[in-house]
């Protein structure tokens, strides 16, 4: 778990965690707790709100890639997920603002669901078991937040298993490797880790590729090429210190 210096430069005191909870994190935590209580009182809702690829494809339960993020399998499942959401999400919300943070959270969570559904289309026992399984939990989105945290704060120490500190960038590599290796298993744990891996992948793609707007960059390069071509055709140049004797049109 990360520990940060206090805001005052005159003291050597340290505080546990990222500090006071932010508005979106508070909303997400309370929503997850409320949904957990409802699923505990009415267990049948898990079949409708949890992610089951077969139900999405054949019965058009298209809400499941979103609603599964707010259900959890047990007390410890929701406890650790909400603790991680607070530990890594608070500082990212402060950095990005509420709107972008919430957008990123849902993109990584839905991306994790898309990864699970895509893998369920594989032939054989693995794909068949995944199509019938029900996945719940915010872990896909949490892994996306963990990746973003490592990209923005790569050298921040995270106490792995609460025992020893390790820089965030290495922590994410280790967790990503564990998720990848575990996802190759044909059991329920392998299916869950496929969602974890999907959260990491979609988080990286969004922050490093989609957010840079590659189509806008291509359009910009094309317009520059057209402008330079027209300048050469009509003998137009942009000027400069040594251009006094050149004829300019």
CATH number for the domain spanning 94: value is: 1.20.1540.10
Tell me whether residue 217 is in a domain. no
**Greatest mean pLDDT range, 162-171, 212-221, 229-238:** 162-171
Q: Is the pLDDT of residue 11 over 50?
A: no
124 band by pLDDT with thresholds 50, 70 and 90: confident
pTM (two decimals): 0.75
Residue 9, Cβ neighbours under 10 Å: how many?
Answer: 7
For the CA atoms of 46, 33, 92, 76, what is the dihedral angle to 10 degrees? Answer: -80
Tell me whether residue 53 is in a domain. yes
pLDDT of residue 245: 45
Task: State how far the alpha carbon of 82 is from the alpha carbons of 28, 160, 240, in Å.
Answer: 9, 17, 59
Q: In the predicted model, what is the mean pLDDT of residues 114-138?
A: 86
Q: Which range among 76-80, 134-138, 148-152, 245-249 shows the weakest confidence by mean pLDDT? A: 245-249
| CA 27 – CA 22 distance, rounded (Å) | 9
Tell me whether residue 236 is in a domain. no
Tell me whether residue 249 is in a domain. no
Tell me whether residue 134 is in a domain. yes
Cα atoms in the 13 Å half-sphere on the side-chain side of 243: 10
Tell me whether residue 216 is in a domain. no
Tell me whether residue 57 is in a domain. yes
| CA 100 – CA 149 distance, rounded (Å) | 14
Q: Is the pLDDT of residue 171 over 80?
A: yes
Q: Which range among 48-62, 70-84, 87-101, 155-169 shows the weakest confidence by mean pLDDT? A: 155-169
**Total domains, the chain:** 1
Residue range(s) defining the domain that contains residue 168: 16-211
Tell me whether residue 181 is in a domain. yes
Task: State how far the alpha carbon of 171 is from the alpha carbons of 41, 107, 167, in Å.
Answer: 37, 22, 6
| CA 232 – CA 52 distance, rounded (Å) | 60
């Amino acid at each position: 778990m990360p520990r940060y210096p206090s805001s005052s430069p005159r003291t050597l005191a340290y505080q546990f965690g990222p500090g006071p909870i932010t508005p979106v994190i508070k909303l997400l935590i309370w929503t997850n707790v409320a949904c957990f209580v409802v699923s505990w009182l009415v267990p049948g809702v898990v079949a409708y709100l949890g992610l089951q690829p077969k139900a999405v494809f054949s019965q058009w339960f298209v809400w499941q890639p979103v609603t599964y993020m707010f259900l959890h399998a047990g007390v410890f499942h929701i406890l650790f997920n909400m603790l991680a959401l607070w530990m890594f999400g608070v500082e990212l919300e402060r950095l990005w603002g509420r709107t972008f943070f919430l957008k990123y959270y849902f993109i990584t969570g839905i991306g994790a669901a898309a990864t699970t559904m895509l893998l369920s289309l594989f032939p054989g026992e693995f794909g068949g078991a995944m199509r019938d399984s029900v996945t719940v939990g915010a872990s896909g989105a949490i892994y996306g937040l963990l990746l973003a945290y490592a990209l923005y704060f790569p050298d921040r120490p995270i106490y792995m298993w609460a025992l020893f500190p390790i820089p965030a960038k290495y922590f994410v590599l280790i967790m990503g490797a564990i998720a990848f290796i575990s996802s190759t298993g044909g059991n329920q744990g392998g299916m869950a880790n496929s969602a974890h891996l999907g959260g990491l992948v979609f988080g990286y793609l969004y922050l490093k590729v989609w957010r840079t707007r590659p189509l806008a960059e291509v359009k910009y390069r094309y317009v520059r090429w057209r402008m330079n071509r027209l300048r050469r055709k009509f003998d137009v140049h942009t000027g400069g210190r040594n251009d006094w004797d050149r004829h300019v049109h």
